[in-house]
Amino acid sequence: MSEIVPVILCGGSGTRLWPRSRATCPKPFLPLIGKETIFEATLARCAPFAAPVIVTGTAHLDHVEAQLGSGGARILVEPQARNTAAAIALAALRLPADAVMLVCPSDHHIGNPQAFAEAARKAAALAQQGWLVSFGIEATAPETGYGYLKRGEMLGDLGFRTAQFVEKPDLEKAKAFLAEGGYSWNGGIFAFSVARFLEELETHCPDVLGPVREAVSSGSEDGARFHPDSAAFARAESISVDYAVMERTDRAALVPADMDWSDIGSWESLHAARDKDGLGNSVRGKVELVDCRRVLVESDGPRVSVIGLEGVVIVVDGDEVLVTTMEGAQKVGKLDGAANQ
């Protein structure tokens, strides 16, 4: 069996959990659930595998290095963000051709790390057989914020061929998927053989691979950090790995994963992932609740007193206060404060 190398993608600005998550310290680097940061928890659940490769930008490098610990990780520093296809290509070109990459976003919560590790081993086995493998996340609600994967034929006892990639559906479609069964959420977690991934990228998206290859050959090492050449990297097409490879290959597979997953994509989903009291309330900091249900309240300083509210999020962070309904939390990224950081 090949080495399984976690490739952890640390990008993104995290406006949807503003004002807690800010451009200067986004979601992965905050202890949003439990005491570890989301990035630390990601590292911890990848610990059963080889030392990880972290792909990140200069903006987050300090956070990454401060939280990385002593696991022998390597860091690939993107001169600028060029989306996931380029980020994964960068990692692939720095790894042995026979390794299997386990590609993980750094800003997801997984409540059951053991189920993650089991799914990762199955995915790696399929990847070694030449499949490009997505984690097919157990769909537990008719979510309209995720793409869906439709299962095709079984691939032994490891997983399924991916019959179809479905863009974010409307509510009616999402409900139909759930009722029909055989659909999973596409959470952006993958397993690829390095060699196979590069072949597919060469075939389907040479405008990513060419520039990144050039950026790597002209790059420079600096201890555990590797800096690809900035000018070359900038020429890579900015495209997601889903569009660049997964939807174009005829070797897409999925491994079902029921692992208490959340992308913590809004204050509503953070509330869902957090421990709560018997009335569904989750609080952090100095908080007094009277007649409240299903509220999330957190404060980094001032006391927050709340009376009579249900389904509301209240966040006090330095010079910003956010108060939103759970439903309204979708609009947080568009607030003046979040948009103009």
Which residue ranges make up the site for a second copy (CB under 8 A)? 19, 288, 290-291, 299, 301-309, 312, 314, 316, 318-325, 327-329, 331-332, 334-337
Q: How far is the CB of 22 from a second copy (least distance, A)?
A: 13
- Least gap, CB of 32 to a second copy (angstroms): 19
19 or 211: CB nearest a second copy: 19
**Amino acid code (one letter) for 134:** S
Q: Of 165 and 267, which CB lies nearer to a second copy in the complex structure?
A: 267
Distance (Å, whole) CA 25 – CA 13: 8
Which of 115, 335 has the CB closer to a second copy?
335
Which residue's CB is nearer to a second copy, number 37 or number 324? Answer: 324
Q: Are strands 220-222 and 147-155 parallel, antiparallel or unpaired?
A: unpaired
* Shortest separation between residue 298's beta carbon and a second copy, angstroms: 11
Q: Give the nearer residue to a second copy in terms of CB position, either 259 or 304.
A: 304
Closest CA to 22 of 330, 320, 268, 257: 320
Supply the minimum distance, in Å, between the C-beta of residue 285 and a second copy: 10
The CA angle 27-83-136, to the nearest 5 degrees, is 75
b/e burial code for range 282-304 (CB count within 10 A of at least 16 → b): bbbeebebeebebbbbbbeeeeb
**Which of 69, 145 has the CB closer to a second copy?**
145
Q: At closest approach, how far in Å is the CB of 322 from a second copy?
A: 5
To a second copy, the closest distance from the beta carbon of 335 in angstroms equals 5
Which CB sits closer to a second copy, 167 or 327? 327
61 Cβ contact list (under 8 Å, min separation 6): 75, 77, 225
What is the per-residue DSSP string for 42-59?
Answer: HHHHHTTSSPPEEEEEGG
Query: What is the distance between the alpha carbons of residues 20 and 217, in angstroms, rounded to a whole number?
Result: 39
Q: Which two tokens stand for residue 184?
A: 């999973």
Q: Which of 307, 305, 312, 341 is nearest to 327 (CA)?
A: 312
Quote the least distance from Cβ 18 to a second copy, whole Å.
9
**Strand 159-166 relative to strand 4-10, pairing:** unpaired
Query: First and final CA of the chain: distance in angstroms?
Result: 46
